[in-house]
Amino acid sequence: MERWKKWSLSATTAAVAVLVVFYADPGPRPEYVAEPEVTVEADTVPNPPRAYGIPLSGFVLESFKMPQGSTFSEVLGEHGFNAAQVDSLVQASKAVYNVRNLRAGHPMALIFTDDGAREPHYLVYESDPVEHVIFDLRPPYGARLGRKPVHTEERDVHCVVQGALYNDMSGAGGDAQLALQLAEVFAWTVDFQRIQKGDQFTVTYMERSVEGRPFGQPIVIAARYESGGVVKDAYRFRKSDGEIAYFDAEGNSLRKAFLKAPLKFSRVSSGFSSRRLHPVQKRFKAHLGTDYAAPYGTPILAVGDGVVEQAGYGAGNGNYVKVRHNGTYSTQYLHMRKILVKQGQRVQQGQVIGEVGSTGLATGPHVCFRFWKNGVQVDHRREEFPSAEPVPTADRERFHGERDRYAVRLSQVRERQLAAF
Ligand SMILES: [Zn+2]
């Protein structure tokens, strides 16, 4: 459970400041309860506390979460704002932030004067751990966006695979989430279902935090996978066009592009749609694939390297094949006249895996092509795939410099770790 700070600070004279700090659980909004006051000399008070860039001297900050089923008006109504005032605030803020985007459960804070009037000055809403909106609750009202500083730190970890990479990573002192990130980075070059005990990963990664709390996923900067004498490196690199991608030591992309379609010459006869009139069933239903019409017997190609996960017959699908390309992507090919591969078989990009037919629920010869990303069916024609191009010539020198620096670092981390055993 996160804990939120609650501050109260009041300067009674120039010489004496009273600082009260305590912690309250989020959830039901805590009532303000004064703790015993701590009196200190002003010159021993470092910087007065601030929150969201606002100095809290003379203010009280009350933290809560946007309540479920509540509205902006209701939140403000609880603090004495009438409908006209809320409307003025909404109007004055709308160029900066639309209050309809407020979501339940997000942290909020009300900042009011630390006196008998308890006059609300600011309402803060955290859109995410970094960004927030500060509403000015005093006429003429208004809002501005703010960002908390994100602290980044480069860390290293070396791990020898014993069992689940997730556990091995955290056992070696790294972020367990790195297991997922590595599976993405090496998706096309390492089969994560076949990692062996004794294989090694060395990783330099970036950890981000906001106010001391980890934020977002760790980012792999450089990684080395070693298995039975085979070494595979990955380097994160920002090209001069701004795109960030992972490359091997030679500067080749760690991604491979898919074929645009499973047929050499093809015509889309029905696109991906969440609602279309089914040609056989004559009712509206989602079509989570793309139909390519072609004559009977036209070769159907695997759009990428992979393993045949399913090859069989279904009443709707007819003869079909499903190929798992990596931990992220799978593709399926339906209504085949003939299946030319077997379950468990490895296939190469462009390999013929079947022939166009109209088995199952089909009105004519076509292949229904389905595309999964992380287990969800998506329209592959709308997906943005990471570039599979190598490091551009103009960026080569800079890439080599970064690669050399991190390659040395990975070797040192690995040696240090192995020497420790
Ligand atoms: Zn279809």
The CATH code of the domain that includes 107 is 3.10.450.350
Q: In this structure, are 284 and 180 located in the same domain?
A: no
Which residues constitute the domain of residue 223? 150-255+387-421
Domain boundary among 147, 170, 199: 147
Ligand 1 center to residue 317 CA distance, Å? 9
Which CATH number covers residue 368?
2.70.70.10
Ligand 1 center to residue 376 CA distance, Å? 16
Q: Which distant-in-sequence residues (6+ apart) come within 8 Å of 412 by Cβ?
A: none
Q: What is the pLDDT of residue 104?
A: 93
| Residue 261 forms part of a structural domain | no
CA atoms of 332 and 368, how far apart (whole Å): 8
Q: In this structure, are 15 and 140 located in the same domain?
A: yes
Ligand 1 center to residue 368 CA distance, Å? 4
Q: In this structure, are 15 and 38 located in the same domain?
A: yes
| Residue 382 forms part of a structural domain | no
| Residue 262 forms part of a structural domain | no
Q: What is the pLDDT of residue 45?
A: 47
Q: What is the pLDDT of residue 421?
A: 66
Q: In this structure, are 279 and 194 located in the same domain?
A: no
Q: What is the pLDDT of residue 40?
A: 40
Q: In this structure, are 96 and 214 located in the same domain?
A: no
Q: Which distant-in-sequence residues (6+ apart) come within 8 Å of 70 by Cβ?
A: 104
Ligand 1 center to residue 75 CA distance, Å? 48
Q: In this structure, are 400 and 271 located in the same domain?
A: no
Query: Contact, 123 vs 137, CB < 8 A?
Result: yes
Ligand 1 center to residue 366 CA distance, Å? 8
Ligand 1 center to residue 294 CA distance, Å? 13
Q: What is the pLDDT of residue 47?
A: 61
| Residue 344 forms part of a structural domain | yes
Q: In this structure, are 171 and 237 located in the same domain?
A: yes
Ligand 1 center to residue 357 CA distance, Å? 12
Q: In this structure, are 136 and 197 located in the same domain?
A: no
Q: In this structure, are 159 and 143 located in the same domain?
A: no
What are the tens digits of pLDDT across the range 60-114? 999 999 999 999 999 999 988 999 999 999 999 999 999 999 999 999 999 999 9
Q: In this structure, are 131 and 190 located in the same domain?
A: no
Query: Contact, 41 vs 15, CB < 8 A?
Result: yes
* Number of domains within the chain: 3
Residues of the chain with pLDDT under 70: 1-48, 386, 421
Domain boundary among 147, 179, 195: 147
pTM for this structure? 0.65
Ligand 1 center to residue 291 CA distance, Å? 5
Ligand 1 center to residue 25 CA distance, Å? 52
Q: What is the pLDDT of residue 13?
A: 31
Average pLDDT, whole number, for the chain?
Answer: 85
What are the tens digits of pLDDT across the range 13-40? 333 333 333 333 333 333 444 444 444 4
Domain boundary among 91, 119, 147: 147
Neighbouring-strand partners of residue 319: 313, 336
| Residue 260 forms part of a structural domain | no
Ligand 1 center to residue 377 CA distance, Å? 12
Ligand 1 center to residue 131 CA distance, Å? 42
Query: Contact, 137 vs 154, CB < 8 A?
Result: no
Q: In this structure, are 154 and 222 located in the same domain?
A: yes
Ligand 1 center to residue 289 CA distance, Å? 5
Q: In this structure, are 221 and 81 located in the same domain?
A: no
